Structure 1
Amino acid sequence: MKQSEVKGYSQEELKDKLAESQKSYADLKRAHVVSPLENPSEITKLRKTIARLKTAINNS
């Protein structure tokens, strides 16, 4: 998710997206511990998305 996409969301939508992203991140981390993921860069992308969402929430 790019920063330009994040700017279009309301405060409630940002919080919902943040909760979804954090859950997905935790699930991916657990799955990666058990067996390696095909594309481990997904973890990095989710982590950056979470950071973007938190930044947008704090700036609003």
Structure 2
Amino acid sequence: MKQSEINEASTAELQERLADTKKAYSDLKMAHTISPLENPIQLRSHRRSIARIATELTKREVQ
């Protein structure tokens, strides 16, 4: 997910996307533990998306 998409989304959408991304990351991590993923870079991209969304939500709470 790109930063521009995160900035345009509402807070409710971001919370929903955060939950979805965390679930997807958890599933990928479990699948990678059982057998190696074809593209392990997916783990990094999901982890960074989670961080971007969480940072934006925190920024909005402070304002």
TM-score, reference length from structure 2: 0.93
- Give structure 2 stretches of 5+ with no counterpart: none
Runs (4+) off by over 4 Å: none
- Equivalent residue, structure 2, for 1:46: 46
Aligned to 2:21: 21
CA RMSD, Structure 1 to Structure 2 (Å)? 0.4
Distance in 2 (alpha carbons) for counterparts of 1:2 and 1:12: 17
Q: Percent identity?
A: 47
Separation of aligned partners in 2, 1:27 and 1:43: 10
Deviations 1:13-40 (A, max 9, x none): 0000000000000000000000000000
Q: TM-score, normalised by structure 1?
A: 0.98
| Matching residue of 1:3 | 3
Q: Which has the higher contact order (CA 8 A, sep 6+)?
A: 1
